[in-house]
Amino acid sequence: MDANRVKQILSSSADIEVQYNGVSVWIHKLHEDGKTATVELRGPLEEQSEVDISELQEF
């Protein structure tokens, strides 16, 4: 995924499914470098991670 698409998803009111390593995640923010983002696992764990946006996939 590229930075422009991450920005579009963040500003959208739609529930857009994004996966990281096969796991559904919410994108919280795009970092200033434009290459990484903070994501949170969907579900009860609410675990946040910083990931490379090139590894995010939209479904």
pLDDT at position 54: 98
Tell me the average pLDDT across 38-58.
Answer: 92
Question: What pTM was computed for the model?
Answer: 0.87
In b/e form, how buried is each residue of 17-49, taking b as 16+ CB within 10 angstroms?
ebebeeeebbbeebeeeeebbebeeeeeeeeee
CA distance 56 to 47: 16
User: Quick one: pLDDT band at residue 44, thresholds 50, 70, 90?
Assistant: confident
The DSSP annotation for 4-51 comes to HHHHHHHH-SS---EEETTEEEEEEEE-TTSSEEEEEESSTT--EEEE
- Domains, the chain, ranges and CATH? 3-58 (2.30.30)
pLDDT at position 46: 76
Please check the confidence at residue 58 and state whether its pLDDT lies above 80: yes
